[in-house]
Amino acid sequence: MSVVLVCNSGSSSFKYQLIDVARSETLASGIVERIGAGVGHAQHRHEGPENTSHGSNWDGAFEVPDHFAAFEVMLEGFAAHGPSLEEFPPVAIGHRVVQGGARFFEPTVITELVKINIDELSSLAPLHNPANLAGIEAAQRAFPDVPHVAVFDTAFHQTMPPAAYSYAIDREVAAKHRIRRYGFHGTSHRFVSRATAEFLGRPLEELRTIVLHLGNGASACAVSGGRSVETSMGMTPLEGLVMGTRSGDLDPAVLLHLQRRAGYSVAELDELLNQRSGVLGLGGHADMRDLVAAADGGDQAAALALEVYAHRVRSYVGAYAAQLGRVDAIVFTAGVGENAAPVREWCLAGLEGFGVIVDPDRNRAAERGARRISGDDSRVEVLVVPTNEELEIARQTAEVVGGAHG
Ligand SMILES: Nc1ncnc2c1ncn2[C@@H]1O[C@H](COP(=O)(O)OP(=O)(O)O)[C@@H](O)[C@H]1O
Ligand SMILES: CC(=O)OP(=O)(O)O
Ligand SMILES: [Mg+2]
């Protein structure tokens, strides 16, 4: 059995899954939240039917000052609620790393040098890479004898052509400071575009799809024949769609103006755009459930935030349709994309003239799993396909380790 433990370390949360790769089966999963903010909260789920010696859910509150503590909480979850890590020892640990820059485009066994590189790339993903690295350090301390593998969000987008990844600025400045677009959420876009081909029963090579990964962070990706040809996040995960707390696209002169006229420092601008913008900044709520509830209750700011959010997604759908030349499927995924039916409807409203017709009943049906939500008369398939970044990371990790061991 090839069991892989997957770690997805965020700035304030740590998500994990223990996965039997050969059977594509999750044995356990969990999350430790509010790291570094006083009392943290942990959930551990031992997969299996409820109320049996297997299936059990566990919630707890702990002091979680850092990722090392979060790792300990996870180990307690396994020890107390199973499955036993002695019985299912991981052969490797797979880590999500957000920014791999131009250095990493394959899953990579983590050495000291790789860690130095991940650290150096932190300025290009300030919310993510430092947390990813902290998770790696914690995991290496707890599991010193198994290989650790980094799977990069940027890797899938290395196929973007120069026309898509170049910013139109002085090329010498760009080269000197490595300014270009990288794109993120690649592990998800890759998994979902493959699952889409499977769902449609069509060869990946012939499909042109637009994948909309709408979670806390959000990005769109144009995928042609299984390869990313354009994506909405850029040099950092700040560009593109409106997100929970991130602004997405804006005129760069806004920053100059705030610096010159309002005396904003670099740190203040960073905090404004990454943590106080997006639907939180516009509508007062970062969480889509709260935002929709507020708008339903008559909150005008929340309603405008939703309009801006959907307007931006629609613009990208149009742009990527033009880049692809033909669209076979538009695919929603991640927390918002998989669960927020009204948001899906708003994002694609008014596109009937382009052959994109969402069926309201199919869209709102309480189904899970991959499903079609377009009407029978829609020329473009509109689908919801759940992402599974952890499974994709586990598969890639097992492949690297399997390869390394002959
Ligand atoms: N049932 C739901 N209805 C609407 N939004 C939801 C629902 N469930 C989750 N979400 C939203 O999904 C987002 C989180 O997405 P997720 O993909 O888990 O993000 P991340 O991986 O970046 O933490 C939140 O905005 C949350 O409100
Ligand atoms: C890259 C990125 O934005 O990731 P997340 O959505 O997990 O914040
Ligand atoms: Mg995510």
String of DSSP letters for 140-158: HHH-TTS-EEEEETTGGGG
What is the separation, in whole angstroms, between the first and last Cα of the chain? 16
How many angstroms separate the alpha carbon of residue 381 from the centre of ligand 1? 23
How many angstroms separate the alpha carbon of residue 214 from the centre of ligand 1? 8
Place of tokens 């790393």: 97
Atom nearest to 218 CA in ligand 2: 6
CA max distance for the chain: 64
| Cα angle 164, 166, 168; round to 5 | 120
Strand ordering across the sheet containing 148-152: 56-63, 39-46, 25-33, 14-20, 3-9, 92-97, 148-152, 108-109
How many angstroms separate the alpha carbon of residue 247 from the centre of ligand 2? 13
Of 184, 274, 279, 287, the residue with max ligand 2 atoms within 8 A of its CB, to mutate for a pocket test, comes to: 184
- Cα–Cα distance between 400 and 397 in angstroms, integer? 5
Whether 185 is in the pocket of ligand 2, judged by its Cβ within 6 Å, is: yes
Q: Which ligand is nearest to the CA of 339?
A: 1
Neighbours of 365 (CB within 10 A): 11
Query: Angle formed by the axes of helices 67-81 and 129-142, to 10°?
Result: 50
Atom nearest to 215 CA in ligand 2: 6
What CA–CA distances, in Å, run from 190 to 210, 248, 320? 12, 22, 17
Residue 406's pLDDT is what? 41
Q: Which ligand is nearest to the CA of 10?
A: 2
- Cα–Cα distance between 26 and 44 in angstroms, integer? 12
The catalytic residue positions are: 153
Exposed/middle/buried for 112, CB within 10 Å: 0-12, 13-18, 19+?
Answer: exposed
- In 3D space, the residue among 175, 111, 185 whose CA is nearest the CA of residue 155 turns out to be 185
Atom nearest to 98 CA in ligand 2: 1
Q: How big is the chain, counted in residues? A: 406
- Cα–Cα distance between 85 and 327 in angstroms, integer? 45
Neighbours of 287 (CB within 10 A): 14
233 is in an annotated binding site: no
Q: Which ligand is nearest to the CA of 186?
A: 2
How many angstroms separate the alpha carbon of residue 237 from the centre of ligand 2? 7
Contact residues of ligand 1, CB 6 A cut-off: 215-217, 244, 287-289, 334-336, 339-340
Q: Which residue has the least CA distance to atom 3 on ligand 2?
A: 217
Q: Which residue has the least CA distance to atom 20 on ligand 1?
A: 216
- Cα–Cα distance between 69 and 206 in angstroms, integer? 47
Of 13, 336, 363, 392, the residue with max ligand 1 atoms within 8 A of its CB, to mutate for a pocket test, comes to: 336
15 is in an annotated binding site: yes
How many angstroms separate the alpha carbon of residue 86 from the centre of ligand 2? 32
Q: Which residue has the least CA distance to atom 7 on ligand 2?
A: 217
100's tokens: 């791999």
Q: Which ligand is nearest to the CA of 335?
A: 1
Of 129, 181, 185, the residue with max ligand 2 atoms within 8 A of its CB, to mutate for a pocket test, comes to: 185
How many angstroms separate the alpha carbon of residue 171 from the centre of ligand 3? 33
114 is in an annotated binding site: no
244 is in an annotated binding site: no
Q: Which residue has the least CA distance to atom 4 on ligand 2?
A: 217
How many angstroms separate the alpha carbon of residue 218 from the centre of ligand 2? 7
389 is in an annotated binding site: yes
Q: Which residue has the least CA distance to atom 2 on ligand 1?
A: 339
Mean pLDDT by 10 residues, the chain (406 residues): 92 92 95 86 83 69 91 94 93 97 94 97 89 95 96 97 98 94 97 98 98 96 98 96 97 97 96 95 96 98 98 98 98 97 98 97 95 98 96 97 64
Whether 259 is in the pocket of ligand 2, judged by its Cβ within 6 Å, is: no
CB 282 within 8 A of CB 305: yes
274 is in an annotated binding site: no
**CA atoms lying within 13 Å on the CB side of residue 222:** 21
CB 123 within 8 A of CB 133: no
